[in-house]
């Protein structure tokens, strides 16, 4: 049998490819590595593949999750400080709260339960199987909290995770990965359940969309990345996209409670949480009373002229249809935003607001600007307020809120708004388990519909049927 030169070269290339794919699993550099941070994407995926195969018992997953919770609690402040220092966004104290929230209230493996169907023809078992290696693209706005939250949810489902950090938050994202990996290794000997590359970029994130060895792609970010993933990925996609959550205050609301809720929610982490209140729509009859109550909480009302001056500084291409937030100003303190407008507010002020009347097209209402500056719109009636809320939510299917004691209003808005989260009479954060019932997540899957993600989101359902036996009745 004669073998052509090309065939030999092709066989050699194949063997080398196989060797390089398996080498990282045994290479000492990768066993210890830099606690999950790799030079090459292929190395990271290979290490994560080896890692998830090691968490093959529920007891081990529970142990790993317990270890991660503790490590996240112990490092909540350090990671919060790093995030603010690196990204310039948000508030340290709020980020500490966010890190603790995800450490404590992200559900673990106990959230998964198999189910059984028993009948005359036998028994069928439905089990929660891992996807294997999950790719998770993470935002700059909640860098550490998203790693902690995704790690707990995805490992609970028996998976490992390749993260694609936002380049502007790479140090803190990588440090969160290292901290969790070190703690897991110390407690179980397993490394690399969480991995990423040392130099994250949009290009590396895009390679993950089609990277071999990954079956599920989870994207947490704005509209552009969700669109890019939708267009190119050949994997199952779960997308946690942008929002522009409106909150309506009607004439029946407990006004001081509504003002306190909105002040707390909209100013949390300087408004960079995707679910935070982004525009307030008040029914005219109570608008002045509401504004006084909001000011009493510590918010400062600014004039439309001052808002315009701020917009020229903090938005790109303003005025104009393509205007958008300047990332340098996203998540800055209210005092810094005020200074951009040429005036000062007390350091204690966490929120600015501007009365824009009936201007639904106002730039601060239309844009998801993620700054602690909210427009207050005045609608004639609740029906009009709801109509505006629908316009401003833009079908993003994210979050909306209502302050009301009218059950018909609650019912009407719940049905029409069609958002993944709908929060009544509390800060929107309550919908993420902070002051409301339910678990938390930093990945609220909106356009693809998985909602507030958890361990159950990140498993494949597998069915096993036995015909004619194993029933006990």
User: Which 200-229 residues touch ligand NAD, going by CB under 6 A?
Assistant: 202, 205-206, 220-222, 224-225, 228
The nearer residue to ligand NAD, 70 or 210, going by C-beta atoms, is 210
Fill in the per-residue mask, 154 to 183: x = in contact with ligand NAD (CB under 6 A), - = not in contact.
Answer: ----------xxxx----------------
Say how far apart CA 324 and CA 326 lie, in whole Å: 6
142: contact with ligand NAD by CB under 6 A: yes
Cβ 453 to ligand NAD shortest distance, Å? 8
Least spacing, CB of residue 354 vs ligand NAD, in Å: 21
Strand order through the sheet with 216-220: 37-38, 194-197, 160-164, 133-137, 216-220, 236-240
Whether 208 contacts 232, CB under 8 Å: no
Each residue 230-269 as x (binds ligand NAD by CB under 6 A) or -, in order, gives ----------xxxx--------------------------
Task: Sheet containing 115-119: give its strands across.
Answer: 115-119, 122-130, 459-467
Residues in the interface with ligand NAD (CB under 6 A) total: 29
Q: In whole angstroms, what is the distance from residue 437 CA to residue 283 CA? A: 28
Q: State the Cα–Cα distance between residues 449 and 443, nearest whole angstrom.
A: 11
Q: How far is the CB of 170 from ligand NAD (least distance, A)?
A: 9
Site for ligand NAD in 434-463 (CB under 6 A): 442-444, 446
- Contacting ligand NAD within 347-376 (CB under 6 A): 368
- Please select the residue that binds ligand NAD; options are 43, 75, 99, 140, rule is CB under 6 A: 140
CB of 200 to ligand NAD, least distance (A): 7
- Cβ count near 438 (within 10 Å): 15
Q: What residues contact residue 383 under an 8 Å CB cut-off, 6+ apart?
A: none
CA distances from 144 to 160, 293, 364 (A): 17, 34, 28
Among 139, 331, 341, 372, binds ligand NAD (CB under 6 A): 139
Task: Tell me if 279 contacts ligand NAD by CB under 6 A.
Answer: no
Residue 60: how many CA atoms within 13 Å on its side-chain side? 16
Nearer to ligand NAD, 122 or 222 (CB): 222
Closest contact distance (angstroms) between CB of 139 and ligand NAD is 3
Phi, psi (5° rounding) for residue 437?
A: -75, 155
Q: Which two tokens stand for residue 381?
A: 């009636």
Q: Which residues bind ligand NAD (CB under 6 A)?
A: 137-142, 164-167, 202, 205-206, 220-222, 224-225, 228, 240-243, 274, 368, 442-444, 446
């Amino acid at each position: 049998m004669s073998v052509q030169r090309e065939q030999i070269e092709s066989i050699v290339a194949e063997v080398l490819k196989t060797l390089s794919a398996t080498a990282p699993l045994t290479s000492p550099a990768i066993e210890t590595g830099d606690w999950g941070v790799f030079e090459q994407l292929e190395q990271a995926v290979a290490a994560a593949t080896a890692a998830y195969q090691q968490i093959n018992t529920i007891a081990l997953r529970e142990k790993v999750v317990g270890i991660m919770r503790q490590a996240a609690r112990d490092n909540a402040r350090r990671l919060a400080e790093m995030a603010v220092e690196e990204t310039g966004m948000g508030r340290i104290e709020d980020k500490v709260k966010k890190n603790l929230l995800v450490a404590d209230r992200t559900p673990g493996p106990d959230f998964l339960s198999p189910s059984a169907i028993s009948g005359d023809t036998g028994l069928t078992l439905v089990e929660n199987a891992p996807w294997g290696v999950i790719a998770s693209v993470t935002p700059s706005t909640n860098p550490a909290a998203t790693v902690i939250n995704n790690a707990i949810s995805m490992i609970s489902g028996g998976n490992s995770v390749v993260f694609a950090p936002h380049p502007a938050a790479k140090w803190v994202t990588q440090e969160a990965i290292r901290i969790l990996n070190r703690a897991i290794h110390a407690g179980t000997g397993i490394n690399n359940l969480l991995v990423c590359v040392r130099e994250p970029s949009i290009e590396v994130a895009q390679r993950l969309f089609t990277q071999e060895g990954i079956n599920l792609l989870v994207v947490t970010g704005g509209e552009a990345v969700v669109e890019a993933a939708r267009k190119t990925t050949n994997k199952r996609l779960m997308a946690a996209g942008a929002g522009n959550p409106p909150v309506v205050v009607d004439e029946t609301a407990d006004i001081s409670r509504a003002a306190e809720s909105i002040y707390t929610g909209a100013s949390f982490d300087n408004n960079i949480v995707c679910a935070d209140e982004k525009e307030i729509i008040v029914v005219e009859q109570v608008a002045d009373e509401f504004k006084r109550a909001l000011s009493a909480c510590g918010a400062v009302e600014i004039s439309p002229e001052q808002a315009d001056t701020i917009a020229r500084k903090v938005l790109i291409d303003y005025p104009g249809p393509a205007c958008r937030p300047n990332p340098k100003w996203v998540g800055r303190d209210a005092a810094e935003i005020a200074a951009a407008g040429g005036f000062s507010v007390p350091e204690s002020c966490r929120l600015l607001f501007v009365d824009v009347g009936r201007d639904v097209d106002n730039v601060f209402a239309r844009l998801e600007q993620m700054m602690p500056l909210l427009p207050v719109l005045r609608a004639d009636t609740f029906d009009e307020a709801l109509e505006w809320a629908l316009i401003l939510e833009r079908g993003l299917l994210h979050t909306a809120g209502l302050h009301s004691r009218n059950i018909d209003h609650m019912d009407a808005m719940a049905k029409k708004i069609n958002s993944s989260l709908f929060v009544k009479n509390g800060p929107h954060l309550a919908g993420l388990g902070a002051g409301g019932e339910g678990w938390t997540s930093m990945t609220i899957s909106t356009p693809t519909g998985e909602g507030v993600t958890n361990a159950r989101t990140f498993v494949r359902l597998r069915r096993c049927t036995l015909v004619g036996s194993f029933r006990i009745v």
